[in-house]
Amino acid sequence: MNNIIYLQNDPILVELNNSVDKNSAKRMIAFKYFNNDINLLDDYLKDKDNSQNHNTYHNKILNPKSQLEFSF
């Protein structure tokens, strides 16, 4: 019984991690849970030490995919 793993099921963090646009997700979560106060949300995220939420989607490095060409 010592090998129990506790999963983090915080709905705020799950919703923020699943979002593509982090800035708009933060505004929506602040409206939904923190009475539209983004500063309280930032304090909550600092307490949770969730540093991966500070990046936005457009700042991530994406590898371009090449187009598959067929020779007929």
**CA–centroid distance for 43 within its chain:** 16
Higher pLDDT, 30 or 3: 30
| Full residue range of the structural domain in which residue 36 is found | 11-52
Under DSSP, the state recorded for 63 is P
Q: In angstroms, what CA-CA distances link 27 with 20, 33, 69, 71?
A: 13, 10, 43, 49
Judge whether 69 lies within some domain.
no
User: How many other C-beta atoms are found inside a 10 Å radius of the C-beta of residue 53?
Assistant: 16
pLDDT in tens, 1-26: 566 666 667 888 889 888 999 999 99
Confidence of residue 40 (pLDDT cuts 50, 70, 90): very high
- Inter-helix orientation angle 22-33/38-48, to 10°: 100
Number of domain units in the chain: 1
Q: Determine, yes or no, domain membership for 1.
A: no
Question: Over the chain, what is the mean pLDDT?
Answer: 78
Q: How confident is the model at residue 38 (pLDDT cuts 50, 70, 90)?
A: very high
Residue 5 in any domain: the answer is no
